[in-house]
A and B are shown apart, each in its own frame.
Chain A
Amino acid sequence: MKDRNFWFVIASITVVFLVYWLLGHPYFVTERFIMLFSIVTLSATLLYYIRAAERGEEFYLRPIPALKAVEEAVGRSTEMGRPILYVPGIQDMDQVETVAGVVVLGHVAKMTARYETSLNVPVSRSIVMKAARESCREAYMVEGRPDMFNEDMVHYLTDDQFAYAAGVNGIMLREKPAACMYMGKFYAESLILAETGNSIGAIQIAGTASQAQIPFFVTACDYTLIGEEFFAASAYLSQKPELIGGVKGQDMIKLVVISVIVISAIIMTVYESTGIGFNIIKYLTIR
């Protein structure tokens, strides 16, 4: 009960909802109650831990080798005097992975500004180009090196998937970057990119939640951020309390989900074996 304001708001919302429920809950779709409950629980858990982190509570985050390798890769590029190639996927900003990719790009840009290493970001969507440019511009400003930023470091190639892959391959072969980073949403071009990066001897770090593409990155890259690791990357790289609080909140949500799975499986086993209890699947189904 450390966060009194938080618990006060939760209690107030609960009371208001109870009053509304007792008054006959007009316009409320009862079949979707489980969704409302899930959204409120998950949001409240995230908010609680973000507020806790902002208040100064410290949370431990286990090390992820791929994230440590990001700085290593920037350092290697600096030593070799070669650029870093950053590919933020082939999808638009409406994909959460692309958003995460652009956020991580901001951290990488900070490092390249610090180490005075050149950065090359070919993109396949116009809105991603604008967002990536803004992200890089801000990173160079924060590091006090606006002179090093130029808009052409983030440049558009094409929207077409394989034409984009061919274009990025060409850049790799001609510029020979020392490090290639693939962070975003990928499809069939993932192996084409990662294989080419491997053939030029670049250190490669990938991050994606595209389940079908993770195997290719695991095979061809030195380090791969798998799914959730990729989304937690910005918290690791920035060490901002609110982001670390968010990661802790997500961990607690995972524990809740595991608990619900175990309880649901027990209820289903008892219900189907003995007829005692109820069919929990019915309550988890949204109509």
Chain B
Amino acid sequence: MEFSTILGAWVAAFLTIGIFSYLYKDNPFYKAAEHLFVGVSAGYLLSLGFWTQLQPNLFGRLFPAKHYDPDTITYTIYNVLSFFSSSIFPEGGIDKGHDQHLTYLIPLALGVMMLLSLIPRFSWMARWGIAYVVGMAAGLKAYGYLNSNVLGQIKGTAVNLLDFSLPVFSLSSPSIFNNIIIFVGTICGLLYFYFSKEHKGLLGKASKIGIYFLMISFGASFGFAVMGRISLLIGRFTDLIKYSGSEYNYATFWVLFIIVGALGYAAYKEEDRGVIAPIDNLGSSTEEE
């Protein structure tokens, strides 16, 4: 096996056990794994975002190789940029299969405005970008939500309550009982979210039924998600078991031994200090009180 693979296994075992060590308490191994995770992911995602979004989709549409003509103003600017960074702006335009769309100057301008927030005098410009994102998302999603969450819900609840072609009771297939449950559950659930009237009397009873429906669905969802998490945990353990083999030089065992040993030693020293400390501090005990 290659050295780099074995090294990767050791690093993976160290980081996994380092993160698990948090179950004992906050410690240097957890801190190291956490900081590495946060720092590496931030850097990696920045790079990924630039090379998979910004460079091909923004610059690739402003300066496509398809329309390369060094005599135009656009490509004169491009060649200047290419002089500074030929990896981002390769010679002859960016070949990502796009046509030239100068409308992409608008997102470029909004992006530059976001960057201008670094200069206090122009930081207000960033609000334009935020306003665009929020406004665009609100308008775009209103239609979808109305269709799926409102009309879709109404359609799903508009059921035949006396459909005698169905069985009266069935847990896993359509039945009269299930239709009634859907109908009552939706209406009572909606009534729970009625804010402008006190939940008393009939409304109080209906909203109480509504919250029971919600809690039952949350319970089912909780159980389902816990099952998913267990499978993730099994995935990590499978890797740790794999790395505990001789081909990886018993990486899991060694790392476990080192981390548990170090934490045990630190705990022993801490306890030791804890016994001695009050004796040492006897003279200053009144100050602490």
Contact = CB atoms under 8 A, between A and B. Distances in A.
B233 interface: no
Interface in B161-180: 161-163
Given A38-B151, A39-B146, A226 B214 contact: yes
Nearest to A286: B147
Given A229-B193, A261-B154, A268 B159 contact: yes
A160 B41 CA distance: 6
Nearest to A170: B34
A92 interface: yes
A251 B159 contact: no
B225 A212 contact: yes
A162 B150 contact: no
Given A93-B137, A214-B218, A284-B154, A258 B191 contact: yes
B138 interface: yes
A166 B158 contact: no
Interface stretch (B62-70, B95-103, B126-134, B251-259): B126-134
Interface in A86-139: 92-96, 99, 126-127, 130-131, 134
Interface stretch (B196-204, B263-271, B278-286): B196-204
A78 B132 CA distance: 37
Contact of B195 (A61, A157, A269): A61
B243 to A, nearest CB: 20
A272 B161 CA distance: 10
Contacts of A163: 37-38, 40-42
B116 to A, nearest CB: 11
A101 B39 CA distance: 25
Interface string B134-155: 1011100111001100110111
B157 A134 contact: no
Nearest to B30: A170
Contacts of A226: 214
Contacts of B147: 35, 286
A126 B146 contact: no
Nearest to A126: B114
- Most A C-beta atoms less than 10 A away, residue of B38, B126, B197, B199: B38
Interface in B219-239: 219, 221-222, 225, 229
Nearest to A273: B162
Interface stretch (B2-10, B53-61, B79-87, B182-190): B182-190
B31 interface: yes
Contacts of B136: 94
B196 A127 contact: no
A130 to B, nearest CB: 5
Nearest to A251: B196
A187 B223 CA distance: 15
Interface string A238-253: 0000000001100100
- Most A C-beta atoms less than 10 A away, residue of B45, B153, B158: B158
B160 A158 contact: no
A159 B45 contact: yes
A251 B157 contact: no
Contact of A258 (B38, B142, B190): B190
A281 interface: yes
Interface stretch (A3-11, A14-22, A140-148, A215-223): A215-223
Given A60-B197, A272-B163, A286 B151 contact: yes
- Most A C-beta atoms less than 10 A away, residue of B30, B190, B199: B190
A158 to B, nearest CB: 4
A257 B150 contact: yes
A201 interface: no
B31 A42 contact: no
A278 interface: no
A215 B222 contact: yes
Contact of A35 (B117, B146, B158, B219): B146
A247 B162 contact: no
A158 B30 CA distance: 17
B194 A254 contact: yes
A93 B159 contact: no
A276 interface: no
Interface in A166-199: 166-167, 169-170, 173-174, 188, 191
Contact of A164 (B38, B186, B193): B38
A47 interface: no
Given A60-B198, A158-B38, A163-B42, A212 B221 contact: yes
A140 B4 CA distance: 52
Interface of A: 34-35, 38-39, 42, 59-62, 64, 92-96, 99, 126-127, 130-131, 134, 156-160, 162-164, 166-167, 169-170, 173-174, 188, 191, 211-212, 214-216, 218-219, 226-229, 232, 247-248, 251, 254-255, 257-258, 260-262, 264-265, 267-269, 272-273, 280-281, 284-286
10 contacts: A62-B198, A130-B114, A130-B130, A160-B38, A170-B26, A188-B229, A214-B218, A214-B221, A232-B195, A272-B160
Given A62-B198, A261-B157, 20 more contacts: A64-B195, A94-B136, A96-B138, A127-B114, A131-B130, A157-B42, A158-B42, A158-B45, A159-B41, A159-B49, A160-B42, A160-B45, A166-B37, A169-B22, A170-B30, A188-B229, A214-B221, A227-B193, A254-B194, A267-B158
